[in-house]
Amino acid sequence: MRARDLLTPSPTVDLDTPVLDAARLIADRDLPGLVVVDESGAPITILPGPEVLRLAVPPYCQDDPALARVVDEAHADTFLMGVSGRRVRDALPDPPRELPVTDPDATVLELAALMARTRSPLVAVTQDGQLLGAVTLQALLDQVLPA
Amino acid sequence: MRARDLLTPSPTVDLDTPVLDAARLIADRDLPGLVVVDESGAPITILPGPEVLRLAVPPYCQDDPALARVVDEAHADTFLMGVSGRRVRDALPDPPRELPVTDPDATVLELAALMARTRSPLVAVTQDGQLLGAVTLQALLDQVLPA
């Protein structure tokens, strides 16, 4: 079993993709995160799912989430509108997450080592610098768990 | 919109649950992680999905995932058997992840603040110390994204 046998098509975003579009991809495709690519299509980092919220949540609420409750429900329901106009480059964690990336020949042990090391549920698979797709933790576990 | 409106039933594990059982729950239910509860059913921490791999992957492979490729494919395919007999308590990250937990009245902004702060795609919802379920990033985004 190699990475090529476990590939899931992976929608990509670039640094200028609106954060709301990234959030919609994560929600619609039920993904743990997105691969961020540069202008040439080469993956540069991972945007983990929870990061799309960070720009929209006021810092005082992140420091003490209980303070978020003073915001009334109607305004709370629309908090995500706060990221309108913001781009993926603004949402990336600092420092950027180590990019888990490998090639189509990687074994399941190598994929697992990458996920364990980077604590990422998603590994990008590239060939000649171009993204072929991703392997998710779910796909990996489905293969390696005893029947 | 409150946490109670976004609840997903959340399978739980305890510190003595075999890691393989936890891995199977994550794979079968397509979850980003599991809530770990104590003997009384009170949530104590989150077991993030990628952590179930850490025990099974030899440390030298985590330090340098490329080294994993020297293990032949047949042995790589069965690496997860290395956690047979190991328990959730052995798989928890050190230090344990901050437990994102709230009550059923939390607004979506409070849920988002918890996910952003703890970088967890899962928040536990409790009442009187007992787990009612969890809110996932997917469920939250489905509600707060503009139609």
Q: Which domain holds residue B137?
A: 3-144
Q: DSSP H helical segments within chain B, as ranges? A: 19-29, 51-54, 59-63, 73-77, 88-91, 108-118, 137-144
pLDDT tens readout for residues A89-125: 888 877 777 778 999 999 999 999 999 888 888 899 9
- Among residues B130, B98, B33, B103, which one has the least CA distance to residue A62? B98
Which are the contacts of B26, defined by CB distance < 8 A and separation ≥ 6? Answer: A137, A138, A141, B33, B34, B49, B52
User: Do the Cβ atoms of B71 and A32 come within 8 Å?
Assistant: no
Contact A31/A39 with Cβ under 8 angstroms? Answer: no
> Which SS3 state, helix, strand or coil, does residue B88 take?
helix
**Residue B142 in this model has a pLDDT that exceeds 80:** yes
- Among residues A146, A123, A147, A144, which one has the least CA distance to residue A3? A123
**Above pLDDT 70, what percent of chain B?**
100
Q: Does A106 touch chain B (CB under 8 A)?
A: yes
Please state, rounded to an integer, the average pLDDT across all residues of chain A: 86
Q: How far apart are CA B49 and CA B26, in angstroms?
A: 7
Interface mutation target, options A86, A105, A109, chain B, most CBs of B under 10 Å: A109
Q: What's the ipTM?
A: 0.82
**Residue B146 in this model has a pLDDT that exceeds 80:** no
Determine which helix (DSSP H) or strand (DSSP E) holds A77, and give its type and residue range.
Answer: helix A73-77
User: Do the Cβ atoms of A142 and B27 come within 8 Å?
Assistant: yes
Q: What is the CATH number of the domain that holds B137?
A: 3.10.580.10
Split into its structural domains, chain B has a count of: 1
Q: What is the DSSP letter of B103?
A: -
pLDDT tens readout for residues B67-86: 888 888 888 787 788 778 88
Nearest residue on chain A to B59, judged by CA atoms? A113
Side-chain-side CA neighbours of A143 within 13 Å: the count stands at: 22
pLDDT value of residue B76: 78
Interface mutation target, options B5, B46, B53, chain A, most CBs of A under 10 Å: B53
Tell me which amino acid residue B38 is: D
Over residues B57-70, mean pLDDT: 84
Per the model's pLDDT, the better-predicted residue between A78 and A44 turns out to be: A44
pLDDT tens readout for residues B122-139: 899 999 988 899 998 889
pLDDT value of residue A105: 93
Residues of chain A contacting B48 with CB distance shorter than 8 Å:
119
pLDDT value of residue B119: 83
